[in-house]
Structure 1
């Protein structure tokens, strides 16, 4: 696994380019960097699948991933503490104890981004 410095993620503000991971889901420069460096495209796929289930009535979703003992829990919220969904990941080698990502509906796509890119 590639090691990366968590502080590097805060350097991403806005994005210069979007990267398609499905017909309706895009990554920003920051989430693409995260997926590549932490080898966690699985996380982006999990987010995309849950966003399809949540739908677009709530255009903003907070995704919190917490890792403990090589297992993870992903919680999808509306930003006000209301939980849309929760997913247990039985094994992961994700290098961070936790990370929060945002997803915003732009009218055509879900854009998955780092909080610093919002």
Structure 2
């Protein structure tokens, strides 16, 4: 899949997949939401509005009220690429979120996931 297609995918189309991945491993939608809030600064009402509007990923991240500065502490490989080495900003934000959801599914504690 090209970068362009990922950017234009709606956040709403991927959000249920994040929740499903977490729930399959015994985690909850509220934990997924907590990760999204921490990463982007969105409230739950904001997230619901983006879901309703079918906002694409590029807009979702560009409109984020507060991209958490601690997100740069997220390291590791997602989809075969080291997240810290991704040069394109929107792609890096998408992969940060993917990595955090992976960490949740793998059983990492929320304190570690949220870099506390």
Provide the TM-score with structure 2 as the length reference: 0.29
Q: Flag the structure with higher helix content.
A: 2
Q: Flag the structure with higher strand content.
A: 1
